[in-house]
Amino acid sequence: TGLPDAELLAPIAPGHPAISTVLAELVFGVTHEGAADVADLLDRRTRVGLVPADRAVAVAAAERVLGLVGRAAW
pLDDT tens-digit profile of 14-59? 999 999 999 999 999 999 999 999 999 999 999 999 999 999 999 9
Element (H, E) at 51: none
Rg (the chain; Cα; Å) = 11
> How many domains does the chain divide into?
1
Q: What is the pTM of this model?
A: 0.89
Q: Is the pLDDT of residue 7 over 90?
A: yes
For the chain, what is the mean pLDDT? Answer: 92
Name the pLDDT band for 71 (thresholds 50, 70, 90).
Answer: low
Domain that holds residue 35: 5-73
Residues 6 or more apart in contact with residue 29 via CB below 8 angstroms: 35, 41, 45, 46, 65
Q: How far apart are the first and last CA of the chain?
A: 14
How much is the pLDDT for 3?
Answer: 87
